[in-house]
A and B are shown apart, each in its own frame.
Chain A
Amino acid sequence: MNTVLTTSWFRLKEFFLNNPKAAIGIVLVLGVCILCFFAPLFTDYLPNARIARPHEAPSAEHILGTTRMGRDVWSQVIYGGRISILVGLVAGIFVMFMAMVVGISAGYFGGIVDNILSFLTNVVMVIPSLPLMLVLASYLDQVSPLVIAIIIGATSWPFGARVIRAQTLSIRNRDFIHAAEVMGESKKRMVFFEVMPNMLAILGSSFISTVIYAIMTEATLEFIGLGDPLSVTWGVMLYNAQQTSAIRIGAWWEILAPSMALASLAIGLALINFSIDEISNPKLRAQKIMAKFRREQAKENKRHKAQAEGKTGSEMVGGAV
């Protein structure tokens, strides 16, 4: 029993040492999520409660200062994070769902299905998302974070769909799919049990990219003023800060806090994404081997130089680069 735990702990440690980028990324993301979703543990104040004087600089009581309305910035950040993260997840899931349905169908079924779906994808892709979101949002009166999530989802699925379609096509033409077809496997089974498992890396990577995009876009839209100013999210915090001229007054904490939160989450997710790419694409992983190779090559060169003083027949180095 003990050994099972110690070996898995050991393997986990090894993974983190071998992949520092993934480690940092995971720590950042988990850190932010824990702070946000367990917010009551980390602060006594409620995000909307007016409990202090406005625009107070950070102090022992309010580690991140207060807003114009006298609300505690730290509480706002960690409670607000919940909505921001959830919006990102909802949009991310929505986009992934659409992208997978369209992408896998187009890639797998080919023919006229592919033509129609690709055409659709290309059209939606070519119409720029931000202006479209602005148009949609301006027609709706009150734009809650959920609505924003849906709007983001509806306008940004083409990129994922394209990537997934390309991947599906390349898998589809591999021999083991033909073999399964010949064996009479049903199409539905094939999609779920043959094609998708091979795409996990790309699906994971797409999902994370989408979540990053969704969270950032949501913050951006809210910053412009399209969100619900009564809700508490990072974007709205920035909007409020801008509206109350926080910069001019020098209330840097109001801007820094949500910015740091957004940046940390973005960087953490990006690092994780990068690591997934590295792990699944061996070509990119060559970093370590290249470093080792350079060391070995240097060794051989030194040995050759030393022996060349003596006689020929020495150990030598090759290499074209």
Chain B
Amino acid sequence: MRYLLQRLGFYILAFLVAVTINFFLPRMMPGDPIQSFLARLAQNGGQITPETVKALESLYGYSTSTPLWEQFFTYLQSILHGDWGMSTRFFQPVVEVLGRGMLWTLLLVGSFLLISYTLTTLGGIWVAWKRGSRFDSILTVSSVIVSSVPAVVMALMLYFVFASDLGWFPTGYAYDPALDPALTGEFIQSVLYHMALPLIAMVLLSMGNIMGMRSNMINQLGEDFIVMGWAKGITDRKVMFNYGARNAILPVITAFAMSVGGIFAGSLIIEIIFNYPGVGQVMFQGMVARDYPLIQGYLLMMTLMVLSANLIADLLLLALDPRLRTSVL
């Protein structure tokens, strides 16, 4: 419990750091931050209305009369109340814009996590079992190679070959625009069809994790309690799973927590290339238009994602590793 509280405290602190970065960056630019925002906006073809200026000012709490720390608190309050400003590119609250995108991104990332972790965990267990066989060598080398191809390249190749050239997969959108969103079989099928190629790309890129699980398993299999498991007359399969994998999965959970940032980064690229309307696509357009509130909102949202993933991982570890519970009442 105490452990959990400590972690929670840390996460809150980290979020505050992200908020602080967002707060200070505009102020580190020379001159009046609001004006330079507007200047860039204009430069990139954005619209400036009195509402825009008003919104920016109230968001950042910028004014010449109040002290800095008061401005910071105003900003913090807005953030905590869900007011992340107005997107200058989409003319809607940042939270709404990001929220729409996150829906599709979470669908993609969620499915990816499910498929990828199932495949890599089982794959890693199997490969560790078949240690030293030819199959082992082939799989390890190929997974290293496939996963070191950069996301950009992999996505481009897949898109080019399968979507553009062969036309086996759609070239954009989350679902067929002719359909209305509804929980019908047709709609769901369309969604899956459009999600397929981006999903495949992401899963291929993550195949390197097989290696991670494999070396976890190999390390575990060197332990004495595995030998004791065999000595007790327990079947190989049970030893593999209940003794080996059950222990090997703990570092996987930790690794997952650390890789969430990278997973979202990868999904950004994938979405851009496959024209998938997730939060990455939204950001792409926002970047081009220098939509600062949106860009900063993205930072906050991604930070929240990473922190939540870390929290989930902490809870999972607490549940799965009894050694962490010793300080629990």
Contact = CB atoms under 8 A, between A and B. Distances in A.
A44 to B, nearest CB: 28
A64 interface: no
Given A284-B218, A321-B236, A138 B152 contact: no
A135 B156 contact: no
Contact of B149 (A128, A226, A266, A271): A266
Interface residues of A, number: 52
B290 interface: yes
Q: Which of A130, A131, A226, A291 has the most CB of B within 10 A?
A: A131
Given A255-B160, A270-B144, A293-B132, A126 B152 contact: no
B295 interface: yes
Contacts of A290: 131-133
Interface residues of B, number: 64
B148 to A, nearest CB: 4
Contacts of B131: 286-287, 290
B306 interface: yes
A267 interface: yes
Contacts of B302: 128, 130-131
Given A135-B295, A252-B160, A216 B150 contact: yes
Interface in A113-155: 122-123, 125-132, 134-136, 138-139
A321 B159 CA distance: 44
A262 B261 contact: no
Interface in B264-311: 264-265, 268-269, 272, 283-284, 287-288, 290, 292, 295-296, 298-299, 302-303, 305-307, 310
Interface string B205-228: 000000000010011001000010
B144 A274 contact: yes
B158 to A, nearest CB: 11
A271 B230 CA distance: 35
Contacts of A134: 283, 287, 295, 298-299
A267 B149 CA distance: 7
B153 interface: yes
B264 A130 contact: yes
A114 to B, nearest CB: 16
B164 A247 contact: yes
Nearest to B310: A126
A130 B18 contact: no
B80 interface: no
A131 B218 contact: no
A127 B156 contact: no
B145 interface: yes
Contacts of A259: 152-153, 156-157
Given A126-B303, A224-B269, A287-B132, 8 more contacts: A123-B14, A132-B21, A139-B25, A223-B152, A223-B269, A247-B164, A262-B153, A283-B222
Q: Which 3 A-B pairs have the closest CB atoms?
A: A290-B132, A270-B148, A128-B261
28 contacts: A123-B13, A125-B258, A126-B306, A127-B303, A128-B303, A130-B268, A131-B298, A131-B303, A135-B299, A139-B25, A216-B151, A224-B284, A224-B287, A225-B288, A235-B152, A238-B156, A247-B164, A250-B165, A259-B156, A262-B152, A267-B145, A267-B148, A269-B148, A270-B148, A283-B218, A283-B222, A293-B132, A321-B236
Interface of B: 10-11, 13-14, 17-18, 21-22, 25-26, 28-29, 131-133, 136-137, 141, 144-145, 147-153, 156-157, 159-160, 164-165, 215, 218-219, 222, 227, 230, 236, 258, 260-261, 264-265, 268-269, 272, 283-284, 287-288, 290, 292, 295-296, 298-299, 302-303, 305-307, 310
Interface of A: 21, 122-123, 125-132, 134-136, 138-139, 159, 212, 216, 219-220, 223-226, 235, 238, 247-248, 250, 252, 255, 259, 262-263, 266-267, 269-271, 274, 283-284, 286-287, 289-291, 293-294, 320-321
